[in-house]
Every structure is written in structure tokens, then in C-alpha cells.
């Protein structure tokens, strides 16, 4: 078989496997948006069947044979050629998949599907003890998983690699260390400033129908294509790209507060535009797929924070917001609204935290996860470790586990190693936004005039259409000319909050 | 291998295949309810992949081996035992599936998926000529399909058998012949009576939000379980049971007319209650599946027409309807509404036709289909054959193909042989309702008092929980003590319309 023929068959098979996986995405979306409560058990069975068949497709020995053929050919001589990229990233997923023993995969699926319900109840009842044995099982299985994958630096590397291909714990530590120090200084200054925005601006009458319309209008304005997507309601918002032409955003509405749904929609729309912007000619192959979760998160954060929480954005959107919410915002000034959506103060819940404190929540989780996976922290000791660390990082005494180590869904689903990508996303977003600002000659001006097309076009060219041609770190260097650094995020935060809170810079 | 072990493996495999098929149902539902326009091509690819894998599961040679083992054992001695029933009906589906050459399956899938769009455009533009070559391909492939299945009486039998297992064209003709004669007489009498209900009753202001609430209230009242189901909006209403605990109803709302959505919801709820009422212990096996399309349709027609268009029903529901639609129905009397929802007159569109004329539309399609499949009627001659037959049966001159032979979606999807099950459903519904009325001691009284539980319980015991233990005809005899006859439907129609139109009986 010629390498070219092997490559064609490889991509065809991989595409089919991706197409098959996308069926599960439709079922997952339905499960979290419209499925009636009674459908839960049947849906689990459908998803388990799909995951079994999908895993078998992904680990077919034939894929290994085809890969070997392609890898030993001239097709991969140029490491950034289409064939080399596809072979490299298929190899990455294939090797990880075949390394996992089938019984471990099934045990993880079984345990995490049961653990989810336990976690929901435990969080509701603030009862860590009932979740602890499940977390224990999950951590043990996750350690086994990491060891099956294999690792060099530390066990956590093997997990991180599943969410951020190629990234190491040491690299992330090197970024998060100085970030933590600088954030701590900024947060302390904000706290000591004694300034606070008017709270009542965001907590008023925001009729849900008007919120839906406003969210859709703004998502469309920044570039999300509703001909190839939707916005629906869910409990835990997410974005799911089924494939070319079909990307689903979800959010949740609070009739007393418009910012949850609004910034949530901008966030998911950022993810969604990445999904919509991938090269459909390469659908199903790495060249037509997103790089990693860090870059994906950078796209959501860029629109949520760098665009959506900017003064320029509200200069443009305030008249529209007043039109949709005349009672709540009719008499509110631009500066007051801008300040209100940038209210910064230490708080307990990650998903409700602001742009500055958010990353401290992530750093805490990154540390706890390493302790669990690398250092043998006992699950029973997680609350104490969490609370102690929380006081050091955010200066607050955690009142209960529901507002502490029980708040996130991730661990119940086995997603250990995922959290760091959130802060990596913030760092990438800051660095990309900085470069786009320079190359497009002033994004503030464009945004204030409602021109969102230039930014979308820039992202499309620099990021969306690149697929997985480069790994995240290399992509960042190519796009911005510099390796990933915490300085761009800190510059952004310092500039914004120094002005808002009148801090000495 | 013992027959018992073979039987267990057979049912396990069949259940998995059914579970897998149910994944396609979720995607089909989403496609027709929420999918954005841009998702169409990707969805087709997902569905094609699923149908290929599903067909392979269903035709695994191992199933044939297991079936042979079970069929030659004592397990099937009693033909109504669980094992005998499951083996019989799995054999029916398996034999049909393996007889179809793979290339014919793929060609049919390809042609019908393209033909749908052609049909939509052709109907919109009233352009039969553009659809004719596609219909031609579909008829040719369908004839090939029938010949691959094999047949004894006539080729159409092989198609009918896919929708109504075991039924023959001759049997259906024997029922439809006298039915047509009696219907023609009734329709003529109604036409000559010169009576018509007040048209403006149904054509008024019916706010969609209120319609949604009313439809849900009534569907729940008759017994549809919304904990295990939903009601959503679509263009061509349908009901889809994904599996235990998850049955989706769909309808469409017209703000100027409440009867479309209302009776549509009752219809789909009737299908849905059958789906919800199947024995979940037998999920995935014939014992936990619906008998055939005729019986399925009987459940929808029973609630739509025999319950929903009865005087007793409106005696109960009129106050509720007035509450939801005070402007439209505040001053309308019960008799006027009852007459309005039973307005009978020849018209062009099947799905808008009334209880009496509806079956003439079906008889026409049954005849045209036989001519196409058995007698070589040319597709180019379909409009002429349709229009000529329409004038004879319904006394109207068809003005265009859009209101004639282009109106239904079925042929574009290859669903030739499906139509007769609609009228079979009406016949079964009449006969079941008649028996239930006798055994429950007066359904009118129960319905007028809002007691819908007795009927649901009766249907559950007599029909839902029977699964495929008996084929349709035998089930009818068991439940009603008589073979299927057109007399019950005619008695029902004559009684109702004689009274409404003051006809000499």
C-alpha cells in the first residue's frame, strides 16, 4: 500500500470516528436541554453503547498500521504539512486510547456516571462525607489511567496532556507562580481601595424574554452564525459543536440579573465561533479540529472579558441594553454599568467570580489536583486543604463544602487535569487580544463603532483555520511573536482595575 | 449451546440493536424540531452512518444462527410464549433485512434523501414534472425491494408486510371495498343536507401560548405522562418514542385556528401513550414493541376522533377551552363547537380532511400505489390517474398537483405501502372503542366526567402490554371477539353525522 493510499484511508477512518462521536454530542446536548426527567436511564444506556462503539472505532488496529505506514514516508517530512499534522495528532489520540485497558474505561464510565448523582445530592446537602468515597474511587482510577498512559515528569502530566496536548505540569507551574503573586497584589489593592460599584444596577428587573433577544442580538453582532447554530436554556451552560453547520450554545437566565446569561452567552458564543470557524474541508481530521482546551477557552474569554467587559463595548451596547431593559437601565449611566460588570472582590464560587480573582480559584484547584494525583493527599483531607489554601489565596474563610471543594462538577466526571486550561485560556486570550489590537490598529475604536468583523476575521485566519497545525504554545508564538506569558493578562487587569478602582499604579 | 442460552443471547443482541436504532430517533427528532438550517448536511451524514451500522447489527449472521437454535427447540412450542413471539418477530425483521442487497439499501437511502428536497420544492412550485423522475427512480427501487423480499399474491404484499406484518393486499381490499361504498353514501347525504357549522368558531383569535398550555393540559388529562415526554413544535407533526421514559410529541400552532394543533396533539398523544405503555421489561424485544402501524394508528385515532371529537369530551372540556380562549369561545355554545370540530365536506388535502372523507383519500392512495407497484402505471401518468380517481371518490376536480398527487411526503421517502395503515387504524380504533364502551359500561359518561383513566387502563391491558404477542388481526379478534370489520367505523360515523346533519338514517 502506498503511503498516500494509507493516508487517505487513515483520514477517512478518523473522519468516520469523529462523525460517530458527534452523534453522542447531539444526545448529550438534548440530555442537558430538553430531555424529560424520565428519559435519564435510557439516555445513559444509549451513551454507554455509543462510547463503546466509538472507542472500538478509535482503537482499531488498522489505524495503527496505517499510521505506521504514513509516519515512515515522505508525507511527514515537513512537520507542518497537512499529512504530518494529521498523523501526529491522530497518533496522540490513538496511542492514548489503545493504552487504556478496556476494563478501566468501563469502570471509569460506570463510576463517574453514578458519582454525578452523588455529587449533586452532596453539594445540595453540603455533605462532603457522602461524596468522599466516590472521589476516592475516581482519584484511584485516574491515577491508574495516568499510569497506563505513562509519564515522565510527574503523573499529573499524563492527565494534562489529555486536555492540553503536550503541556507539562512544570510549564504550567512556571506560568501560574508569577501570575499568582501579581494577582494577589492586585486583589489586595482593590480590596483596600474600599470602592464598590452600585450593586443594584445588575440586580433589578430583567424580563427573560428581553434577555433572550438581547443575548441573541449581541451573539449575532459579534459574529456567531445563527443559521448554523442555536441558543437554548440549560442548568450548567456549555457549547457543543456537532459538526459543520451546527453549533449549539446554552445559557441560563435569572430574571433579576442580566449579567449571568449575558456574559455566559458571550462566553459560549466565543467557543461557538471557534467551532463554526474550523475548516470544514478538514472536518473530522486534526487539521479541522480545535487545538486544545486552553486555546478553546481563550476564544470564549476573549469575547466574554476582553470584548464584553470593555468600556468600548458598552459605549456601543448601552443604547441597545436600555431599549431591552428600560426599567432596569433607563436611568443608569454608562460608567455605572461598566463598573458594575467589572465588580471585583474575593468570593467563594468560581463561576461567579470576577476577571481578577477567577484565576486564584483555578490555581487553588490546580494545586489540590496535583496533591491528589502526585502526592497522595487523602480525599478525606481535601476540605481542610482546600479551605486552608483558599484563605491564603483569597483571604476568606470557607463556610461550608458546598461553597468550597464540592462546588464544581469536574471531579465527579473524572475531569482531573481540566481546570488549568481555564487560566491558560485567560492568558492566551490576553496575549491574542494584545496582538490583534496592535495589528488591527486599535480594537477599542472598532468595538465602540460596532465593527466586530475585523476581529473575527483576524481570529479566523490566525486561529480557527489553523486547526491543529501547531500545538497551543507554538501557535501562540506564531500569532503573537512571543511565548505564552502572564504579563499580558496582568497588564490588562492592572490597566482596567487601576482606572476603575483609582489605584496607584 | 442450549436453546435457553441462545435465546438469551438473541434477545440481548436484538435489544442492543433496538437501543442503537433509538439513537437515530433522537437525531431525527432534533432534525425536525430544533436543528438550525445549516446543520442539514452534517445530520444526513450522521444518520447515514448510523443506518449503516444499525443495518449491520440487525443482519449479523450470528442472529440467524441463534434464531435457528431457538426455533428448533421446545422454547417455541407454545406460539404465544414470550420466546416464541420474540423469535417469530425477530425472524420477520431479520429475514427481510438480510434479503435486501446492501447496494439497494444504500441506493434507496441516497435517492430518497435527495428526493425529499426535490419534493419540497416541487410541491411549493406546483411542478410535478420536476418530481416525476425521482418518483420514477423510487418506484423502480421499491419494486426491486419488494422482489428481493419475495411475495406470493402480488408485489404490493411485500411492501405492506413491512408496515403491517402479515397483512395482504387482498385482505385490505376486502375491507376497503365495502367501506368505500358506505362512505360514499354517507358523504353524499352530508353534502346534500346543505347544513354547515359556523365557520368562524374555529377561525378566530387563538393565542399560541394559550394553545400550548391547553394542549398540554388535555394531553396530560387523557393520560400522557409529561415526566416521560415532551411536546414541541415542528412542521410535519409526529411522535417519537426513544425508549423507556422518553416519548416526544410534536405539533404545529396556527394562531387563527386552534383545532390543527389541538387534535394533532391528541393524535400524537395517543401514539405516545402506546409508546409509554409498552412493557419496559421487554424493551428492545418484540414483546415490548408495538404490533404494527395499523394498531399504532388506532391508538392515535381513538384519542383524536373517538374521544376528542365526541360530544361528551366537549361537555367536559368546554369550560377549560373558554378559560384559555375567552375572546374566541366566550360566547360560543357547546353544540356549535361540537359541530365545528366535526365539519364534514370533500376537500383536497388529506391531513385537513374530516373523519368521514379522510378514508376516501387513503383508498385513492392505496389504489394508485397498487397501480404503480403491481400494474406498471407510469409515474408521468400519476396526476391524471389521481385526478380522475379523486373526482369519482370525492366529487371534486383537483386544481393542481400541489393539492393533488404532490401533497404527501411519503413517496419521496420511499414509504410506499404505508398509507393503508391509516385507514386500518381508523377501523381498529372504531372496533376497540366499541368494545371498550361495552366492557367499561359507557365511555361517554366517563369522558363527560373527565375520567380518562379507565380507558387508558383498558388499552394498557388489552393493547399496550401485549407487545407483539399477536399480530394485528389476531389481537383485534382477541380484544373485540370479532375479526376486523368496517361496520364499527361506519356505525360510529353514521350515528354521529346523522345526528349532526339531521340525515334520514
3-state secondary structure of B243: strand
At B109, the pLDDT band (50, 70, 90 cuts) reads confident
Give the mutation candidate from B219, B241, B242, B278 for the A interface (greatest A CB count, under 10 A): B242
**Are A19 and B45 within 8 A, CB to CB?**
yes
Q: Does B12 touch chain A (CB under 8 A)?
A: no
> Could you tell me if residue B261 is left (phi over 0), alpha (psi between -120 and 50 degrees) or otherwise beta?
alpha
At A505, the pLDDT band (50, 70, 90 cuts) reads low
How close B70 comes to chain A (CA, Å)? 26
Q: Using the predicted structure, report yes or no on whether residue A367 has a pLDDT greater than 70.
A: yes
Q: From the candidates B58, B89, B171, B268, which is the catalytic residue?
A: B268
| Nearest-by-CA chain B residue for A229 | B36
Give the mutation candidate from A30, A40, A44, A247 for the B interface (greatest B CB count, under 10 A): A30
Q: What is the pLDDT of residue B505?
A: 64
What does the pLDDT average to over A339-368? 96
Residues of chain B found within 8 Å of residue A243, distances taken between Cβ atoms: 39, 42, 45-46
Q: Does A226 touch chain B (CB under 8 A)?
A: yes
Q: Does A257 touch chain B (CB under 8 A)?
A: no
Residues of chain A found within 8 Å of residue B39, distances taken between Cβ atoms: 228, 242-243, 245-246
pLDDT per position as a tens digit, B159-189: 999 999 999 999 999 999 999 999 999 999 9
What does the pLDDT average to over A289-303? 97
| Nearest-by-CA chain B residue for A33 | B34
**Are B26 and A26 within 8 A, CB to CB?**
yes
**Are A42 and B226 within 8 A, CB to CB?**
no
Q: Using the predicted structure, report yes or no on whether residue B392 has a pLDDT greater than 70.
A: yes
Residues of chain B found within 8 Å of residue A227, distances taken between Cβ atoms: 36-38
Nearest to A246 among B19, B38, B242 (CB): B38
pLDDT per position as a tens digit, A153-184: 999 999 999 999 999 999 999 999 999 999 99
Across chain B, what does the average pLDDT equal? 96
**Are A230 and B34 within 8 A, CB to CB?**
yes
Q: Using the predicted structure, report yes or no on whether residue A59 has a pLDDT greater than 70.
A: yes
Q: How many CA atoms lie within 13 A of B249 on its CB side?
A: 32
- Over the Cα atoms of chain A, what is R_g? 23
Distant-in-sequence, close-in-space partners of B273: CB < 8 Å, separation ≥ 6: B222, B223, B224, B299, B303, B456, B459, B464
**Are B245 and A42 within 8 A, CB to CB?**
yes
Q: What are phi and psi of A247, to 5 degrees?
A: -125, 125
Q: What is the pLDDT of residue B70?
A: 98
**Are B246 and A43 within 8 A, CB to CB?**
yes
Residues of chain A found within 8 Å of residue B227, distances taken between Cβ atoms: 36-38
What does the pLDDT average to over A452-478? 98
Q: Does A244 touch chain B (CB under 8 A)?
A: yes
Q: What is the pLDDT of residue A113?
A: 83
How close A343 comes to chain B (CA, Å)? 36
How close B39 comes to chain A (CA, Å)? 5
Q: What is the pLDDT of residue B311?
A: 97
What does the pLDDT average to over A252-261? 94
**Are A38 and B245 within 8 A, CB to CB?**
yes
Residues of chain A found within 8 Å of residue B53, distances taken between Cβ atoms: 53
Distant-in-sequence, close-in-space partners of B357: CB < 8 Å, separation ≥ 6: B183, B187, B344, B345, B346, B347, B394
- What's the maximum distance between 2 C-alpha atoms anywhere in chain B? 73
Q: Does A125 touch chain B (CB under 8 A)?
A: no
B10/B93 Cα distance (integer angstroms): 13
Give the mutation candidate from A46, A51, A228 for the B interface (greatest B CB count, under 10 A): A46
Q: Using the predicted structure, report yes or no on whether residue A134 has a pLDDT greater than 90.
A: yes
- Could you please report the per-residue DSSP string of B396-422? -----GGGTTTS-SGGGGT-TT-THHH
Q: Using the predicted structure, report yes or no on whether residue B337 has a pLDDT greater than 90.
A: yes
Q: What is the pLDDT of residue A201?
A: 86
Residues 417-456, chain A, touching B (beta carbon < 8 A): none
Q: Which three cell numbers stand for residue A62?
A: 488498522
Which has the higher per-residue pLDDT, B250 or B117?
Answer: B250
Q: Does B19 touch chain A (CB under 8 A)?
A: yes
Q: Using the predicted structure, report yes or no on whether residue A106 has a pLDDT greater than 90.
A: no
Q: Does B49 touch chain A (CB under 8 A)?
A: yes
At A17, the pLDDT band (50, 70, 90 cuts) reads very high
Residues of chain A found within 8 Å of residue B226, distances taken between Cβ atoms: 36
Contact call for residues A69 and A11 (beta carbons, < 8 A): no
Q: What is the pLDDT of residue A322?
A: 96
Q: What percent of chain B has pLDDT over 90?
A: 93
Residues of chain B found within 8 Å of residue A22, distances taken between Cβ atoms: 42, 46
pLDDT per position as a tens digit, B13-70: 999 999 999 999 999 999 999 999 999 999 999 999 999 999 999 999 999 999 999 9
Closest CA to A358 of A313, A301, A303, A410: A301
3-state secondary structure A389-418: HHHHHHCCCCCCHHHCCCCCCHHHHCCCCC
pTM for the complete prediction? 0.95
Grid cell 361496520 — which residue?
Answer: B487
How close B433 comes to chain A (CA, Å)? 30
Q: What is the pLDDT of residue B105?
A: 87
**Are A27 and B26 within 8 A, CB to CB?**
yes
Q: Does B227 touch chain A (CB under 8 A)?
A: yes
**Are B244 and A41 within 8 A, CB to CB?**
yes
B431/B477 Cα distance (integer angstroms): 10
B355: burial class by Cβ within 10 Å (0-12, 13-18, 19+)? buried
**Are B39 and A226 within 8 A, CB to CB?**
no
End-to-end CA distance of chain A: 65
**Are B246 and A39 within 8 A, CB to CB?**
yes
**Are A36 and B244 within 8 A, CB to CB?**
no
Q: Does A5 touch chain B (CB under 8 A)?
A: no
Give the mutation candidate from B31, B46, B273, B275 for the A interface (greatest A CB count, under 10 A): B46
Catalytic residues of A: 268
**Are A19 and B232 within 8 A, CB to CB?**
no
Amino acid at each position: 500500500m502506498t503511503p498516500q493510499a494509507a493516508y487517505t484511508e487513515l483520514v477517512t477512518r478518523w473522519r468516520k470516528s469523529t462523525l460517530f462521536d458527534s452523534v453522542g454530542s447531539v444526545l448529550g446536548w438534548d440530555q442537558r436541554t430538553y430531555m424529560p426527567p424520565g428519559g435519564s436511564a435510557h439516555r445513559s444506556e444509549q451513551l454507554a453503547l455509543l462510547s463503546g462503539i466509538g472507542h472500538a472505532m478509535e482503537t482499531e488496529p488498522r489505524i495503527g498500521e496505517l499510521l505506521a505506514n504514513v509516519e515512515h514516508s515522505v508525507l511527514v517530512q515537513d512537520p507542518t504539512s497537512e499529512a504530518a499534522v494529521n498523523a501526529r495528532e491522530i497518533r496522540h489520540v490513538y496511542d492514548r486510547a489503545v493504552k487504556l485497558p478496556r476494563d478501566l474505561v468501563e469502570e471509569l464510565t460506570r463510576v463517574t456516571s453514578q458519582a454525578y448523582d452523588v455529587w449533586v445530592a452532596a453539594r445540595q446537602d453540603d455533605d462532603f462525607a457522602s461524596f468522599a468515597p466516590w472521589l476516592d474511587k475516581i482519584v484511584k482510577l485516574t491515577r491508574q489511567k495516568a499510569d497506563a498512559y505513562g509519564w515522565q515528569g510527574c503523573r499529573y502530566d499524563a492527565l494534562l496532556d489529555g486536555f492540553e496536548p503536550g503541556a507539562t505540569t512544570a510549564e504550567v507551574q512556571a506560568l501560574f507562580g508569577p501570575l499568582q503573586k501579581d494577582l494577589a497584589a492586585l486583589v489586595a489593592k482593590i480590596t483596600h481601595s474600599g470602592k464598590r460599584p452600585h450593586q443594584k444596577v445588575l440586580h433589578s428587573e430583567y424580563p427573560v424574554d428581553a434577555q433572550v433577544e438581547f443575548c441573541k442580538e449581541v451573539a449575532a453582532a459579534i459574529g456567531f452564525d445563527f443559521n448554523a447554530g442555536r441558543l437554548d436554556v440549560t442548568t450548567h451552560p456549555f457549547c457543543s459543536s456537532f459538526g459543520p453547520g451546527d453549533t449549539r450554545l446554552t445559557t441560563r437566565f435569572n430574571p433579576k440579573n442580566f449579567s449571568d446569561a449575558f456574559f455566559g452567552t458571550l462566553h459560549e458564543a466565543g467557543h461557538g465561533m471557534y467551532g463554526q470557524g474550523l475548516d470544514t474541508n478538514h472536518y473530522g481530521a486534526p487539521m479541522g479540529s480545535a487545538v486544545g482546551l486552553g486555546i478553546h477557552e481563550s476564544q470564549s474569554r476573549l469575547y466574554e472579558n476582553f470584548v464584553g467587559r470593555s468600556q468600548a463595548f458598552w459605549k456601543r451596547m448601552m443604547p441597545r441594553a436600555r431599549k431591552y431593559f428600560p426599567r432596569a437601565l433607563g436611568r443608569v449611566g454608562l460608567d455605572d454599568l461598566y463598573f458594575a460588570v467589572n465588580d471585583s472582590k474575593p468570593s467563594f464560587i468560581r463561576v461567579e467570580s470576577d476577571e481578577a480573582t477567577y484565576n486564584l480559584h483555578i490555581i487553588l484547584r490546580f494545586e489540590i489536583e496535583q496533591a491528589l494525583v502526585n502526592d497522595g493527599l487523602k480525599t478525606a483531607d481535601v476540605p481542610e486543604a482546600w479551605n486552608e489554601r483558599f484563605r491564603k489565596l483569597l483571604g476568606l474563610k470557607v463556610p461550608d463544602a458546598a461553597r468550597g471543594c464540592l462546588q464544581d462538577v469536574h471531579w465527579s466526571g473524572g475531569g482531573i487535569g481540566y481546570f488549568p486550561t481555564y487560566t491558560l485560556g485567560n492568558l492566551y486570550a490576553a496575549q491574542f487580544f494584545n496582538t490583534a489590537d496592535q495589528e488591527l490598529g486599535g480594537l477599542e475604536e472598532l468595538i465602540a463603532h460596532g465593527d466586530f468583523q475585523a476581529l473575527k476575521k483576524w481570529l479566523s485566519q490566525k486561529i480557527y483555520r489553523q486547526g491543529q497545525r501547531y500545538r497551543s504554545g507554538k501557535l501562540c508564538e506564531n500569532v503573537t511573536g512571543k511565548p505564552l506569558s502572564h504579563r499580558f493578562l496582568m497588564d490588562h487587569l492592572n490597566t482596567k482595575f487601576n482606572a476603575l478602582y483609582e489605584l496607584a499604579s
